[in-house]
Amino acid sequence: SQQGEEDPQALSIQEGENATMNCSYKTSINNLQWYRQNSGRGLVHLILIRSNEREKHSGRLRVTLDTSKKSSSLLITASRAADTASYFCATWGNQFYFGTGTSLTVIP
């Protein structure tokens, strides 16, 4: 499979803390995307980082990409209860591959 695992599989933090999720993949990529899925809903695109970028910011989100290690991380700063969701990384090979996801719970 193109896609590896995200870790951790589950993460529980207090509101206001930072949350870091990691993603690994197996083949070369053009870009890597992060999505959020609230329970029972569709996926929402968060951020796209291209293979020639090392870091990208969007509001409270910070994504890093290390193509030599085939890994990416998503940092959510100053977390809120509304950030509770599953987070997936995704890459395009000959199809779009999603990782297994990290389930984040932010406790108010």
- Write out the residues near other proteins by the rule CB under 8 A: 30-31, 33, 35, 37, 40-45, 48, 88, 92, 94-101
Distances (CA, A) of 13 to 16, 78, 86: 8, 11, 14
Nearer to other proteins, 78 or 82 (CB): 82
Peptide bond into 8 cis (omega under 30): yes
Q: How far is the CB of 14 from other proteins (least distance, A)?
A: 26
> Do the beta carbons of residue 63 and residue 72 sit within 8 Å?
yes
Q: How far is the CB of 92 from other proteins (least distance, A)?
A: 5
Q: How far is the CB of 18 from other proteins (least distance, A)?
A: 24
